[in-house]
Structure 1
């Protein structure tokens, strides 16, 4: 056994101490190095993170802009109300929490269904409303028990309201909660993402959608100091939001209301335009819907009622419904004949009551014909035979070219998105439309029905009103628009939506005068005379009836047909005839004859706008009772 001397023990001890000291020194060196790295090298990074943990940026949603009619009547506004909201990521048992909340505040089954729908569409860390528009008593009851509910809070939110309900709903549109597709689009745009932080609603249809950028405004932010648990301690800084701009429309809401009431329970559309500017005075699609239903998230019951209704109230018939124009097409055909030199105004022929083309016979609405017919009379009595022969002489190419310049078969450019194109038939259109080679060829016999507004013709009421306004304005076409001013919400300075002339079609005054005389004759002694008897102004118009399905030679007897198989009723007009202030198109789906169903609606609208006469209040009676039942009487 080796004996260690004291000197050896001392040297070994010193070595151990030195090693331990070196180890401690290295440890302190690492600590100091780490300290220098964190406090000096990475100071800016960690200082920013610490500040971010201490300061929370809360978005402030801007007040959405108002929408008013041309006279300042409010059509869309905002109001503040309390909501009971749940942040699902902060709640352990969501169903149990909702049940406990229901013991304090009434939560109906529809509230639960809406919450579940929102939950499916949202991220689970978002705050979602389980109840909206709480009363003061309900707010007080919850606040007294708030300590029991983590992740549940009361918030004050702005709600959109449409005070007139269904009136002009298809023009105004509605807002709704931002869905996943819309959120993805917003997040792809850095500027939009910043501006929509904290925003839960966006314009879905109508002006609410097409003027979203103006109406939304610019979001603000508040810097709030928070403690370790995330609770707000104090406000450090605030950047106020910029409210959205207000919209003042060209719509006259009283005119709109009168037009909608005139339809009663019938389906259809009316579009009225100021010819000299393109400003839309009335934009009707019936049946309507209540846009207030969509603001909080529409319930399943309400959505099913709207979506499954056989009347399809959600369809904007004014700009998405395409219909044959029927005899309302004849004034434009007459103008086309004059402008292209295919007919003179003085040309007249004896109407036998039919037109034979090959092996086919095209019958007039009046058996035996209308006698001797010139161009003005052809419009007044709505002579089909005159336009059968005219269409045959002009050919489809010439008809299509002329009508295309009037806007038929193309979008008008109105300031509501989603407008339909319609169908302006032509050889080129048929080539694109059909797949089979035998279907692609245009046959000369197909042109005959085009002349009376039937066949492949299909246009929106907006297009028909647009063309009528152009005719009334001597061939000068303006783009239709519904917004008149965009008003800065801060300064109150209005920015006018300038009338946009699209084209001057250069029609000859003498040709326009021939068509005008024919359309005045419709009102004074023709198919529209009964509807306009005793009018205090002179209007120019044309009735129309569009076939819904082929009778295959059988006689049309209206009361024997199912209501939805009856003809569509149409009417176009402008007034006063010598200095037009308003032009319109009316369509009543399955209404029967234009003179009986559509013209009386136009009369009520023109009475109010031109003469200031309001209707008694009742919708027109069902025209079935006294309408002529012989097919073809416009």
Structure 2
């Protein structure tokens, strides 16, 4: 009995311990359940949502670029981008090489694309955001990827808009282009605003107005299945598209300039003297911008980079050329306005100039000389000895002072970031760069636009504008309007205005007329150096030709182009405006190794003047006829 009682007691004790353990375990389960369902509810809801929801950045649509007449210069076209989401790959990021190998069996993948993909993969990004592998898939490639989608988890085809330039050739040096964002650019850009953007402005207008053109990133929350495929869009914040910009650039004039430069090396810059707007900016040889948007092949890029003709080089903004005789009107102004010579100053030209008796002969272009030469004749016939004489009298300082007033030695265009200053050689400059003193012979060379002096075509066009406007300055710029709002200066959109020349005020305003009359006779006078290009024109043109020596000629030698390699022949230059009174266009034309400015550059300028002026006249006449017809109809 005692044993039976003891057994019952032990059983009850064990039962109570078992019950206690059951209650304890149940309490633990309940408390854990309460902890998960109540106290940690928000955390695990968020974790759950993260598994089925993703926040995706949406790239804004890049703003469009139009010419002054509303013609499209830079737009966007539909494209399909091949992307990978590393977090959704089978095996995670470690399986990327395997997926790439699988893809290579489906479509052709360029080694350069793979290298760039891996660089982008290591850049900061949001989880589950796609990383671009290949741009501009064709329809065949898209179909092949879709058919094999079941064995390519994490591989997506994303529709996109990419930059497109309708007029591909001849515009890139004015517009610039967009290209894929590189590591250096990524470090400077707003990582949030560019989180879904693959391209950025690289050069020119596209680069300078990147902020306006890009827009603001948008976002969407999407629900996905276990394989990462989007089931539905839960929420969406639309991106703000970039602003459309309008340039002063005239597409017809630009195309004409590019066509005139075909087969040549050189540049043409045209400016509206009434506004400072750039009407045309062509550099030759050129290249197509579209090939850079989605990624140029290494072979094609190396061909451009290694070409002896330097198609990648923007001659209009960065080409440094001796301005030669195109500066003679400015040197003449410097002489008379500074009072160093009188307005009736003249010399006898025997065909050369000497600083000292039996010294070096500084030769004129015309053997035997021009006889008695005054300021008017010196500009019309481009007499070198006249400018040797006044440069000798002036020395360096007065000449460089006036040349600077006309824009030389400084960046004169506001919104082209690649523009350079070139060289305006002062005494201080020569000491710093050549470790030498300024000599009288240096002044003589400066007086005819040679020696150390160099200028870009854009600077020469600026100089022409100031001559045409009788000293009145307008900011040289590409931009005309942003989203229809006129832009008078780049400071209107929050940029710093670059340093610019002040208006030039001569002691006697009538001196402007003397220079203008002489430059008109260059084009229409009986002995004007540009008379052939000005002949039979229905409007008056003012201009100045120039021939820049490239190869030094020994004292007793004569220049013979036929005996000199083509790349060592003279450059041909021209500056001018039309009509001579109330001008609507100023031009600077440079043809490398083309020979004389009167034969190589001035004829091109005449054709551009005709396009701009006669084209406008034709439109005005058509409008007048239409109005007369409407009036007659209304009267009837």
* Fold in common (TM above 0.5): yes
**1:371 maps to 2:371:** yes
Out of 538, 541, 561, the residue aligned to residue 539 of structure 1 is: 541
TM-score, structure 2 as length reference: 0.86
Unpaired segments ≥5 residues, structure 2: 90-95, 123-128, 491-499, 618-636
1:237 Cα deviation from its structure 2 partner = 1.1
Equivalent in the alignment of 2:287: 289
Equivalent in the alignment of 2:60: 62
1:554-569 aligned within 5 A: 554-569=557-572
Equivalent in the alignment of 2:125: none
Deviations 1:519-552 (A, max 9, x none): 1111112110012211111111000011112122
Unpaired segments ≥5 residues, structure 1: 187-191, 488-493, 615-634
TM-score, structure 1 as length reference: 0.86
1:180-195 aligned within 5 A: 180-186=183-189, 192-195=190-193
2:18, 2:398 → 1: CA distance?
105
1:131 Cα deviation from its structure 2 partner = 6.1
Deviations 1:18-76 (A, max 9, x none): 99988888877877777676666665555444433432111222221111111111111
1:76, 1:14 → 2: CA distance?
91
Q: Which one is further off, 361-370 or 31-40?
A: 31-40
Equivalent in the alignment of 2:496: none
**1:202 maps to 2:200:** yes
Deviations 1:229-282 (A, max 9, x none): 433232111112222111211111111111111122001001111112101111
Kept in 1, the 8 Å contact 2:82–2:157? The answer is: yes
1:465 Cα deviation from its structure 2 partner = 0.3
Equivalent in the alignment of 1:311: 309
2:10, 2:392 → 1: CA distance?
123
1:442, 1:238 → 2: CA distance?
69
Deviations 1:571-621 (A, max 9, x none): 00011112111111100011111011000110100011112299xxxxxxx
Equivalent in the alignment of 1:592: 595
Equivalent in the alignment of 1:132: 136
Tell me, what secondary structure is at the counterpart of 2:534?
coil
Q: Which one is further off, 119-128 or 55-64?
A: 119-128
Deviations 1:385-423 (A, max 9, x none): 111111111111121122112211011133121211110
Q: Mark the CA change 1:547 to 1:88 in structure 2 (over 3 Å): closer, same or farther.
A: farther
**1:521 maps to 2:521:** yes
**1:549 maps to 2:551:** yes
Equivalent in the alignment of 1:404: 404
Kept in 2, the 8 Å contact 1:548–1:566? The answer is: yes
Tell me, what secondary structure is at the counterpart of 1:193?
coil
1:344 Cα deviation from its structure 2 partner = 2.3
Equivalent in the alignment of 2:425: 425
Equivalent in the alignment of 1:255: 253
1:94 Cα deviation from its structure 2 partner = 4.2
**1:236 maps to 2:234:** yes
Q: Mark the CA change 1:363 to 1:427 in structure 2 (over 3 Å): closer, same or farther.
A: same
Tell me, what secondary structure is at the counterpart of 1:542?
strand
Tell me, what secondary structure is at the counterpart of 1:503?
coil
Equivalent in the alignment of 1:496: 486
Deviations 1:136-188 (A, max 9, x none): x65444423321222333221212211111131111111111111111222xx
Q: Mark the CA change 1:8 to 1:252 in structure 2 (over 3 Å): closer, same or farther.
A: same
1:480 Cα deviation from its structure 2 partner = 0.8
Kept in 2, the 8 Å contact 1:88–1:94? The answer is: no
**1:475 maps to 2:477:** no
Equivalent in the alignment of 1:162: 165
Q: Mark the CA change 1:22 to 1:347 in structure 2 (over 3 Å): closer, same or farther.
A: farther
Out of 115, 121, 124, the residue aligned to residue 123 of structure 1 is: 121
Q: Mark the CA change 1:337 to 1:366 in structure 2 (over 3 Å): closer, same or farther.
A: same
Equivalent in the alignment of 2:126: none
2:536, 2:283 → 1: CA distance?
28
2:133, 2:488 → 1: CA distance?
42
1:339-350 aligned within 5 A: 339-350=337-348
1:23, 1:552 → 2: CA distance?
113
Aligned residues between the structures:
588
1:131, 1:243 → 2: CA distance?
21
1:85 Cα deviation from its structure 2 partner = 3.9
Kept in 2, the 8 Å contact 1:537–1:611? The answer is: no
1:602, 1:608 → 2: CA distance?
10
